């Protein structure tokens, strides 16, 4: 399956194909005629998929940068060591960086690709469910600061995105669950039928039969949204449903207690509870979301006093002219933007 993201000179293809990583070298040779490639990966993913990729790229001069896995690596402080390795390898502006890994690697390597020498070519090879349904598409790349998520970043488009759903076979079940947080988000904001479909799978093994189609649906929604509002001032804000509170929870726990999809799950429940109580959302919507999240073993609450989230929320990137934008649902499958202040979340006793 293939999708094309139409962004003028920055347009690119998304290929979804079981086994695609086994012939990733052929896709690369088609689009990249330079000499040097840097593969950026993490210490879980590289031993599983990196060696084969290196072997397929034997005709290039390849440098490999493997970083510790996990969100704490998506940090500003790691950057100089990566730039140094690229400089040691004498990577030039005609060369290429490949992100091989989950969303942490995609965001980090993409940020490196957008800043090293003011930008070099970049390819996304997402290996986690979350990265395949969401983070590898759309061009947002970033690192975290202690004050909040993704606070330093850029828009950097890949030459192509190569999604091989077979890699999900080696993914820890925790991160399948985690990726389902974003899949459910797509159903909530734009696709009632997808949301209902997700209720029907017995478990992930069952859902895996349809995984190509589910990845395609999520990425197709994202493609459409991003084509219309690349820079995130309009319709693209909907992709942040659950993220205002979710990102603040991640930051509160130093990016180590809750993974991204889990925090987004908690954020979707919390914001919908508030908007439903205010009659901004159809009655019963929170319960529907909670039911699907529970089905996929996602958390519904962090049991935090919302006051502790206010500072991080004030750094949210949906804050324009000192006014926050909250993504609310009208009902499952339809959203609206509500402009409010950060006290809006204090209507809940706990998040
Ligand atoms: N740029 C965007 O639009 C966007 C969208 C959504 C999320 N994100 C970001 O993505 C990040 C989360 O991504 P993630 O959940 O993929 O986290 P991650 O990259 O940390 O991957 C999760 C874990 O799975 C391991 N892993 C990945 N693929 C594997 C495989 N095939 N087999 C075995 N292990 C594998 C990783 O080593 C890691 O331990 C967050 O930083 C979030 O902010 C960005
Ligand atoms: O691509 C987008 O736009 C999104 O909001 C997708 C989100 O799932 C993702 O977590 C993104 O990184 C959040 O962006 P941010 O601008 O809130 O940092
Ligand atoms: Zn997200």
3-25 pLDDT, tens digit each: 999 999 999 999 999 999 999 99
pLDDT band at 321 (very low <50, low <70, confident <90, very high): confident
Q: Three-state SS for 171?
A: coil
Q: Which residues pair with 116 in a beta bridge?
A: none
pLDDT higher than 90, residue 277? yes
Q: Three-state SS for 125?
A: strand
Nearest CA, atom 2, ligand 2? 239
Contact 240, 248 (CB under 8 A): no
Spell out the alpha helix ranges (H) of the chain. 24-31, 45, 51-56, 79-88, 103-115, 129-130, 173-190, 192-199, 204-208, 211-228, 243-252, 260-277, 285-295, 310-314
118-165, pLDDT tens digit by residue?
999 999 999 999 999 999 999 999 999 999 999 999 999 999 999 999
pLDDT higher than 90, residue 311? yes
240 lines ligand 2 (CB under 6 A): yes
What is residue 204's predicted lDDT score, i.e. its pLDDT?
87
138 lines ligand 1 (CB under 6 A): yes
Tell me the chain's radius of gyration from C-alpha atoms.
20
Distances (CA, A) of 258 to 34, 148, 194, 251, 254: 40, 14, 25, 9, 9
pTM over 0.95: yes
Contacts of residue 318, Cβ cutoff 8 Å, sequence gap at least 6 = 237, 240, 244, 324, 325, 326, 327
What is residue 198's predicted lDDT score, i.e. its pLDDT?
97
Contact 334, 235 (CB under 8 A): no
Taking alpha carbons only, the member of 45, 66, 26, 74 closest to residue 132 is 45
Which domains, from first to last, does the chain contain?
2-170 (3.40.50.1970), 173-347 (1.20.1090.10)
What is residue 175's predicted lDDT score, i.e. its pLDDT?
97
Q: Could you tell which of 14, 22, 41, 44 is best to mutate to test the pocket of ligand 1, judged by most ligand atoms within 8 Å of the CB?
A: 44
Taking alpha carbons only, the member of 323, 175, 321 closest to residue 244 is 323
What is the layout of strands, in order, in the sheet containing 323-331? 319-320, 323-331, 334-340
168 assigned binding-site residue: yes
CA atoms within 13 A on the CB side of 282: 12
pLDDT band at 333 (very low <50, low <70, confident <90, very high): very high
153 lines ligand 1 (CB under 6 A): no
Contacts of residue 206, Cβ cutoff 8 Å, sequence gap at least 6 = none
219 assigned binding-site residue: no
pLDDT higher than 90, residue 334? yes
pLDDT averaged over every residue in the chain: 97
Contact 37, 69 (CB under 8 A): no
Q: Predicted ipTM?
A: 0.99
144 lines ligand 2 (CB under 6 A): no
CA 22 to chain centre: 24
Q: Which residues pair with 323 in a beta bridge?
A: 320
What is residue 113's predicted lDDT score, i.e. its pLDDT?
98
Q: How large is the average pLDDT for residues 200-210?
A: 92
- Helix (H) and strand (E) counts in the chain: 14, 12
E strand or H helix that includes residue 238:
none
How many Cβ atoms are within 10 Å of 79's Cβ, its own excluded? 16
Contacts of residue 296, Cβ cutoff 8 Å, sequence gap at least 6 = 177, 180, 181, 184, 198
Q: Three-state SS for 346?
A: helix
Burial 225-239 (b: 16+ CB within 10 A, else e): bbbeebebeebbbbb
* Alpha carbons 69 and 234: distance in angstroms, whole number: 33
Contacts of residue 238, Cβ cutoff 8 Å, sequence gap at least 6 = 189, 190, 225, 327, 335, 337
69 lines ligand 1 (CB under 6 A): yes
103 lines ligand 1 (CB under 6 A): yes
The CA-based dihedral angle spanning residues 1, 26, 22, 163, taken in that order and rounded to the nearest 10 degrees: -40
Q: Could you tell which of 157, 222, 240 is best to mutate to test the pocket of ligand 2, judged by most ligand atoms within 8 Å of the CB?
A: 240
């Amino acid at each position: 399956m293939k999708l094309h993201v139409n962004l003028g000179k920055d347009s690119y293809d998304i290929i979804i194909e079981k086994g695609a990583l086994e012939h990733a070298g052929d896709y690369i040779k088609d689009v990249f005629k330079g000499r040097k490639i840097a593969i950026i990966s993490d210490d879980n993913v590289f031993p599983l998929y990196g060696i084969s990729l290196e072997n397929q790229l034997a005709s290039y001069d390849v440098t490999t940068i493997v970083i510790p896995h996990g969100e704490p690596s998506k940090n500003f402080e790691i950057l100089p060591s990566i730039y140094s390795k690229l400089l040691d390898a004498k990577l030039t502006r005609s060369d290429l960086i490949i992100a091989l890994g989950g969303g942490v690697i995609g965001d980090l390597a993409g940020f490196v690709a957008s800043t090293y020498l003011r930008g070099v070519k970049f390819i996304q090879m997402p290996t986690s469910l979350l990265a395949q349904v969401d983070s590898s598409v759309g061009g947002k790349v970033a690192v975290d600061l202690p004050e909040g998520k993704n606070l330093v970043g850029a828009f950097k488009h890949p030459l192509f995105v190569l999604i091989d759903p077979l890699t999900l076979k080696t993914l820890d079940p925790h991160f399948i669950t985690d990726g389902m947080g974003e899949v459910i988000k797509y159903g909530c904001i734009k696709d009632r039928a997808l949301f209902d479909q997700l209720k029907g799978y017995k478990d992930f093994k069952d859902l895996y039969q349809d995984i190509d189609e589910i990845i395609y649906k999520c990425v197709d929604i994202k493609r459409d949204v991003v084509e219309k509002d690349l820079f995130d001032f309009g319709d693209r804000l909907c992709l942040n449903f659950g993220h205002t509170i979710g990102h603040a929870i991640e930051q509160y726990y130093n990016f180590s207690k809750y993974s991204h999809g889990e925090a987004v799950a908690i954020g979707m429940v919390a914001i919908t509870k508030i908007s439903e109580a205010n009659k901004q959302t159809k009655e019963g919507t929170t319960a529907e979301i909670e039911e699907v999240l529970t089905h996929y073993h996602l958390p519904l609450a962090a049991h935090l006093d919302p006051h502790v989230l206010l500072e991080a929320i004030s750094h949210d990137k949906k804050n324009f002219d000192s006014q926050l934008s909250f993504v609310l649902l009208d009902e499952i499958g339809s959203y609206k933007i509500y402009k409010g202040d950060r006290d809006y979340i204090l209507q809940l006793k706990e998040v």
